[in-house]
Amino acid sequence: MTDTTTHQHNQGLDDFAAHGDGDAHHHHQHNYSQSHYLGFALLLTGAFSLVEFLTGLHSNSLALISDAGHMLTDTAALALAYFAQKMSTRPASARLSFGYTRVEIVAAFTNGLTMAAIVLWIMGQALWRLWHPIVVDGSTVTWVATLGLIVNLLVAFLLHRDQSSMNSRAAFIHVLGDLLGSVAAIIAGVVISATGWMPIDPILSIFVSLLIVRSTWALLKESSWHLMNGVPHGIDYNDVGASLRGLSGIASVHDLHIWDMSPNHPTLMAHVILEPNKEWPVLLNDARAMLREKFGIEHVTLQPEWALDPNCHNHDGHDDI
């Protein structure tokens, strides 16, 4: 017996789904290529961060441990990019009508909080070791950090092969920052081997931690902005409202909302009050064209209202624009 309920449910989802999916097959193939590079880079970085961490524990080198922590941020960033690209191929459903576009944002915010905790631990250990020096095997630190530098260079090369994806570009920049961490660990190993001056290890560990703080703060700031549905960077909220109101036939605009459904995919929703005797289909096309060409906003939902409509008023406290 055919499950008519499921059939009707899926049919309804197809009927109501967003337009513009005609290039889904091409998008899937492109994501497969990106995932190939990201997956290999993820395996390299993740494996070596574990090796570096264990070696750091064995050699008592906080510089190696902190660099392993920095490589862990790379691993998390690569995993995030890989996971997001895999999830982005999944279609929307009746329960997730927007699809999985915000998975990347939620994962990024969680990743940022985790790395903030790691940074606090590393800096706490570094400050303690400044007052209580521990003997570090400088030779081991130098060799392992050198291998780490080679791994980072290889990962950067892989990610540089695909710069069309925002995920790949972000991960590429993240890995470049980690190169400094490997260099710092090499310097610590050389100095300790040559002079026996142990404080260089925690000092450089603090330096690497500050590098992690910078990238972590940027990640938390951007992801929280998206989670709060902030107006996308580069788009002036008041300018958008004024431009809509400036179209011939639109008297005013209210309940204007602009946000990113996913990074670099701005979305707009607003109520527009029309002047008398104006054709809405014509105005809608004009508004969409203006928003696309002037602000790069493709996903637009506008609700028309007429000045004589008794329900035409502000519903959520947003002033008319």
Are 139 and 281 members of one domain? no
- The pLDDT assigned to 7 comes to 45
| Those residues with Cβ within 8 angstroms of residue 247's Cβ, 6 or more apart along the chain or in another chain | 283, 286, 287, 290
Task: Quote the domain boundaries for residue 136.
Answer: 18-227
List the chain residues with pLDDT less than 50. Answer: 1-13, 16, 20-32, 316-317
Would 311 be classed as within a structural domain?
no
Beta strands across the sheet bearing 265-274? 250-262, 265-274, 299-306
Smallest Cα–Cα separation from 291: which of 267, 273, 275, 274?
A: 267
Are 173 and 40 members of one domain? yes
Are 108 and 248 members of one domain? no
Would 13 be classed as within a structural domain?
no
| Those residues with Cβ within 8 angstroms of residue 7's Cβ, 6 or more apart along the chain or in another chain | none
> Which CATH number do you get for residue 267?
3.30.300.30
Are 122 and 46 members of one domain? yes
CB burial string 124-134: b at 16+ within 10 A, e below: ebbeebeeeee
Query: Count of domains in the chain?
Result: 2
Which residue among 227, 254, 282 closes a domain?
A: 227
Are 216 and 91 members of one domain? yes
Backbone angles phi, psi at 258, to 5 degrees: -135, 130
CA-only gyration radius of the chain, Å: 26
Q: Is the pTM of this model over 0.85?
A: no
Using DSSP's 3-state secondary structure scheme, residue 305 falls into strand
Smallest Cα–Cα separation from 154: which of 182, 184, 185, 115?
A: 182
Sign of the C-alpha dihedral computed for residues 225, 164, 160 and 87 taken in this order: positive
Are 174 and 60 members of one domain? yes
Up-side HSE of residue 253: CA atoms within 13 Å toward CB? Answer: 23
Would 80 be classed as within a structural domain?
yes
Per-residue pLDDT tens for 80-135? 778 777 776 788 788 888 778 777 778 778 878 877 887 888 888 889 888 888 78
- The pLDDT assigned to 252 comes to 92
Q: Name the amino acid, one letter, at 185.
A: A
- Tokens matching residue 51: 């090796």
Are 138 and 251 members of one domain? no
- The pLDDT assigned to 321 comes to 67
Are 161 and 74 members of one domain? yes
Q: Name the amino acid, one letter, at 252.
A: S
Asked if 142 and 193 touch (Cβ cutoff 8 Å), the reply is: yes
